[in-house]
């Protein structure tokens, strides 16, 4: 029986090559899309699942209030340094605690220097987070302070083919400064290799090739930051006891922060510690998709993206299934006599249904083989688009292989269920009497499926337009600064005096166009909130603070709205240390309008920055001498969407001891010479430290990296959905025009022109597309409106996006069917009336 079914199916495919090709091609492309999306989604949820015994490991994360209260609170991965150790000491369910701080440091051996990503960790780090070591004992690798664990690739880079164990490396790094830290003395040390670990794969939240303990003299973390309860410093991890109640531990963590920290003492804020920083715990294996991934070591994923792409995969596969269902039911008239003869000869309905289901499953399995071949061909290009190596292994990953076979089988059942029900239900007498009866009752369902196909395509098309426009809009925002032609250098490997001399040398070089120091640079998460009190206003509030050098505005070409800029010739314009009680500052337009009504009205006004923990100067008087334009250079405010955050009240002051970022403007027509000059000057001041420099617009590009990646993937899937729907419509048009040949002949006999016939047939296929627009528009509007709410700067949902997508779908539908319509409309009516 199975052999008979197989032969019948193959004969049917051979007899109807066009429709078989459309079915197989549609299912092949649909299954290939599903495979790519399954691989992508599986990769996103696989982060850190490969690390053994990490089930009970959690990362300490939290939410910080927005400075000025004018934007969303910041949910961030970094946490205060003391929290992890305090949890182990005060919460019984916490079995162990560890800390990780990430730096870019110089690794030197012999006369070679490397600028590498370095992680400074607690001595028990490899016991809590069990990264695989190929050499060394996790319990003993950091038993000595001056030890280091490196990756296999780092071992090859540093020592070639020789064994790395027992060899030494010299590391040089800068300082992790805070407002009360007095300057920077670079930290360095000679470390012995005590372990070699496997290279970290891409699906982990960790990064870096060098790990050494925070007990080493090379640790750049200052003691003030290690003791700061309300300042984020790196990442804290805790391992809970088996069976620990996570909700209870979280509640104990909040109570501990309230008990051990004091915002009033540190920042003059009359708040509980958890109101200043609300802590929580996130599973180590779930951190990649955590809402607290802002500030993490690697780019964050999001459940929204996972669910979104999964939904797109399901929709594309359904569109392919709709194609099969449509064409199979539309072909009913062709197979009516075959089915009727089988029934007359004794075939039962269940046997016929099984045969037709078997045919659809066979097509789906053939399509799966072709889809896997297509996936293999396109996988390298897909890897480049998503920016990560995603592998497809058939035997090494047999659950996935079996799952894909099951998916293909299920697709065949879904696609063939309705046609099997319709075809197996024909009445032999009616079917043998007329060829048209076979298709009765299926026209409404076929139309509904075409409507759904194009509703999906139109909805995805609208979403693609909005995503592209939103990213283009964000990129085109007036930043109120000039980001082009600026080189950013990390100078935390120099002392304060050396940094200032270095900047003066850069500023004096004729190949360059100015240099400045700052505490942070645009398009980073550097700025923090400082507690201030404004005379005449009740309470203490947070205002964002930027540390800048006197030339900052000129290098970045930031407009001054009122007053003057800061100057080295004015003593109060430059802070010399934590003992200063008075500073001149600049504020931005947002602060001037919120607190002083206007930029001109803010000049000469004062307010206090309050640091009760600063024993030398717990209250420092700040005098406003200038007002700058609002600069849009902060990354998003914790929503996870990327892009730029809206300006919040901000003040700028010059504190040379705490500024370790150097910005240099280079001429547009002399970039190579300018970079050579920068490198030459750097090595003259810091010969033992590798230079860490990059162009500022790279940071700007990074703000949109996630969106651009999603755009590329999204546009590919939108194109595929439309292509599959068009293939189905092409097949439907071929069948429909073939069935209406006699009708067209009669119409032409009674005087209908060719143009009238073409318009009639086009209108028939336009109706489902127009109905699809009615369905797709409100659904797309609902979801896109909520998606856009995550952006600080966003476009409005202009009707043009909806009309453009709908009109494009209509034009594609016309282009798909017009060949068939024109062919039938131009046919000689005599031949048409001889039809059948």
* DSSP character string of 346-390: T--HHHHHHHHHHHHHHHHHHHHHHHHHHHHHHHHHHHHHHTS--
pLDDT value at residue 179: 45
pLDDT value at residue 195: 95
pLDDT value at residue 763: 82
Q: How far apart are CA 364 and CA 324, in angstroms?
A: 10
Q: Please state the pTM of the whole predicted model.
A: 0.81
N-terminal to C-terminal alpha carbon distance within the chain: 34
Q: How far apart are CA 596 and CA 601, in angstroms?
A: 6
| The two structure tokens encoding residue 44 | 């996103």
Torsion of CA 497, 501, 502, 507, to 10 degrees: 140
Residues paired with residue 102 on neighbouring β-strands, in sequence order: 119
Q: How far apart are CA 319 and CA 26, in angstroms?
A: 8
| The two structure tokens encoding residue 665 | 């403007």
Question: What is the residue extent of each domain of the chain?
Answer: 1-57+277-284+298-432, 81-269, 486-703
CB 700, CB 523: distance < 8 Å: yes
Q: Which helix (H) or strand (E) holds 766?
A: helix 754-788
> If you average pLDDT over residues 570-596, what whole number do you get?
81
Q: How far apart are CA 113 and CA 692, in angstroms?
A: 12
Helical residues (DSSP H) of 564-657, grouped into ranges: 589-595, 599-602
- Pairing relation of β-strands 278-283 and 57-64? antiparallel
CB 494, CB 685: distance < 8 Å: yes
CB 159, CB 167: distance < 8 Å: yes
CB 532, CB 543: distance < 8 Å: yes
Distance (Å) of CA 227 to CA 184, 264, 579: 18, 16, 20
> If you average pLDDT over residues 696-701, what whole number do you get?
88
pLDDT digits (tens, 9 = 90+) for 429-454: 555 555 444 444 456 777 787 888 88
Query: Quick one: which of 423, 442, 373 has its CA closest to 739?
Result: 442
pLDDT value at residue 736: 66
CA 390 to chain centre: 16
pLDDT higher for 578 or 518? 518
pLDDT higher for 337 or 254? 254
Length of the chain: 836
Q: How far apart are CA 189 and CA 775, in angstroms?
A: 66
Phi-psi region of 536 (alpha: psi -120 to 50; beta: other; left: phi over 0): left
Q: How far apart are CA 531 and CA 23, in angstroms?
A: 66
CB 326, CB 37: distance < 8 Å: no
Indicate whether 285 pLDDT > 60. yes
| The two structure tokens encoding residue 209 | 């090739």
CA angle 744/747/753 to nearest 5° reads 95
pLDDT digits (tens, 9 = 90+) for 626-678: 999 998 876 654 444 456 777 888 899 888 777 888 999 999 888 999 999 99
Helical residues (DSSP H) of 509-622, grouped into ranges: 552-556, 589-595, 599-602
Residue 376 CB coordination number (10 Å): 11
CA angle 785/448/435 to nearest 5° reads 165
CB 412, CB 404: distance < 8 Å: no
Phi-psi region of 597 (alpha: psi -120 to 50; beta: other; left: phi over 0): left
pLDDT digits (tens, 9 = 90+) for 7-37: 655 566 566 666 677 778 888 888 998 899 9
pLDDT value at residue 637: 46
Query: Quick one: which of 371, 428, 298 has its CA closest to 33?
Result: 371
Whole-number average pLDDT of the chain: 82
pLDDT value at residue 333: 57
> If you average pLDDT over residues 95-122, what whole number do you get?
91
> If you average pLDDT over residues 116-141, what whole number do you get?
94
3-state secondary structure of 545: strand
CA angle 40/31/334 to nearest 5° reads 165
Phi, psi of 454 (to 5 degrees): -75, -25
Distance (Å) of CA 180 to CA 266, 273, 659: 11, 20, 12
3-state secondary structure of 567: coil
CA 85 to chain centre: 32
3-state secondary structure of 529: strand
Q: How far apart are CA 80 and CA 230, in angstroms?
A: 6
CB 616, CB 581: distance < 8 Å: no
């Amino acid at each position: 029986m199975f052999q008979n079914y197989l032969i019948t199916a193959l004969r049917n495919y051979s007899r109807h090559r066009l429709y078989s090709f459309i079915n197989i091609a549609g299912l092949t492309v649909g299954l290939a899309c599903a495979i790519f999306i399954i691989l992508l989604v599986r990769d996103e949820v696989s982060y850190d699942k490969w690390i053994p015994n990490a089930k009970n490991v959690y990362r300490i994360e939290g939410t910080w209030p927005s400075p000025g209260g004018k934007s969303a609170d910041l949910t961030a991965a970094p946490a205060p340094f003391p929290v992890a150790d305090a949890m182990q000491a005060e919460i019984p369910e916490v079995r162990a605690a560890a800390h990780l701080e990430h730096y870019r440091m110089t690794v030197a051996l012999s006369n070679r220097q490397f600028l590498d990503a370095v992680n400074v960790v607690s001595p028990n780090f490899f016991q809590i987070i069990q990264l695989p070591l190929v050499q060394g004992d996790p319990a003993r690798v950091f038993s000595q302070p001056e030890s280091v664990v490196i990756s296999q690739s780092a071992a090859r880079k540093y020592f070639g083919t020789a064994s790395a164990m027992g060899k030494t490396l010299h590391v040089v790094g800068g300082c992790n400064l805070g407002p009360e830290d007095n300057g920077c003395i670079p930290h360095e040390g000679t470390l012995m290799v005590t372990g070699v670990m496997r290279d970290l794969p891409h699906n982990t939240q960790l990064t870096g090739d060098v790990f050494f303990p925070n007990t080493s003299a090379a640790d750049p973390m200052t003691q003030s930051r290690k003791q700061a309860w309300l300042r984020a410093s790196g990442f804290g991890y805790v391992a809970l006891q088996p069976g620990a109640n996570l909700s209870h531990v979280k509640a104990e963590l909040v109570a501990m922060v309230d008990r051990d920290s004091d915002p009033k003492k540190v920042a003059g804020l009359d708040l509980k510690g958890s109101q200043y920083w609300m802590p929580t715990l996130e599973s180590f294996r779930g951190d990649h998709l955590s809402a607290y991934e802002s500030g993490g070591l690697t780019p964050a994923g999001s459940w929204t993206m996972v669910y979104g792409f999964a939904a797109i995969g399901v929709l594309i596969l359904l569109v392919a299934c709709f194609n099969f269902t449509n064409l199979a039911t539309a072909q009913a008239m062709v197979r009516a006599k075959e089915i009727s003869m089988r029934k007359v000869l004794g075939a039962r309905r269940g046997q016929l249904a099984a045969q037709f289901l078997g045919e659809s499953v066979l097509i789906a399995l053939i399509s799966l083989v072709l889809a896997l071949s297509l996936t293999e061909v396109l996988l390298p290009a897909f890897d480049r688009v998503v920016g990560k190596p995603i592998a497809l292994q058939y035997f090494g990953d047999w659950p996935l292989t079996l799952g894909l076979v099951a998916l293909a089988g299920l697709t065949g059942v879904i696609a063939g269920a309705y046609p099997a029900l319709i075809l197996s239900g024909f009445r032999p007498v009616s079917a043998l009497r007329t060829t048209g009866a076979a298709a009765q009752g299926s026209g409404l369902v076929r139309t509904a499926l075409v409507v759904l196909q194009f509703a999906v395509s139109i909805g995805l098309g609208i979403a693609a337009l909005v995503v592209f426009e939103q990213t283009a809009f964000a990129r085109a925002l007036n930043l109120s600064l000039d980001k082009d032609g600026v080189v950013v250098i990390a100078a935390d490997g120099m002392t304060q005096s050396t940094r200032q001399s270095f900047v003066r040398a850069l500023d004096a070089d004729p190949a360059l166009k100015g240099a400045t120091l700052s505490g942070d640079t645009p398009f980073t998460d550097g700025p923090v909130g400082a507690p201030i009190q404004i005379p005449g206003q009740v309470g203490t509030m947070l205002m964002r603070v930027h540390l800048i050098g006197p030339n900052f505005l000129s290098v970045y070409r930031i407009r001054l709205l009122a007053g003057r800029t800061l100057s080295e010739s004015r003593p109060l314009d430059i802070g010399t240390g934590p003992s200063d009680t008075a500073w001149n500052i600049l504020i931005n337009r947002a602060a001037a309008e919120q607190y002083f009504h206007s930029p001109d009205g803010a000049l000469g006004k004062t307010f206090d920055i309050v640091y009760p923990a600063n024993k030398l100067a717990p209250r420092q008087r700040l005098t406003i001498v200038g007002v700058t334009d609002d600069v849009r250079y902060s990354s998003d405010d914790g929503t996870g969407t990327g892009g730029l955050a809206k300006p919040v009240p901000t003040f700028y002051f010059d504190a040379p001891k705490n500024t370790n970022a150097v910005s240099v403007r280079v001429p547009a027509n002399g970039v190579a010479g300018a970079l050579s000059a920068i490198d030459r000057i750097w090595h003259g001041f810091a010969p033992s430290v590798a230079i860490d420099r990059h162009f500022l617009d790279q940071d700007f590009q990074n703000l949109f990296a996630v969106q651009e990646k999603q755009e590329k993937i999204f546009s590919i899937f939108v194109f595929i959905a439309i292509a599959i729907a068009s293939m189905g419509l092409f097949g439907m048009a071929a069948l429909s025009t073939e069935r209406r040949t006699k009708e067209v002949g009669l119409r032409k006999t009674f005087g209908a022109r060719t143009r009238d016939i073409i318009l009639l047939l086009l209108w028939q296929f336009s109706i489902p597309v127009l109905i699809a627009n009615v369905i797709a528009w409100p659904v797309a509007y609902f979801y896109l409106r909520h998606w856009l709410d995550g952006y600080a700067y966003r476009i409005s949902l202009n009707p043009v996006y909806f009309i453009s997508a709908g009109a494009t779908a209509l034009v594609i539908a016309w282009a798909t069917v017009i060949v068939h319509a024109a062919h039938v409309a131009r046919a000689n009516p005599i031949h048409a009336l001889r039809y059948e």
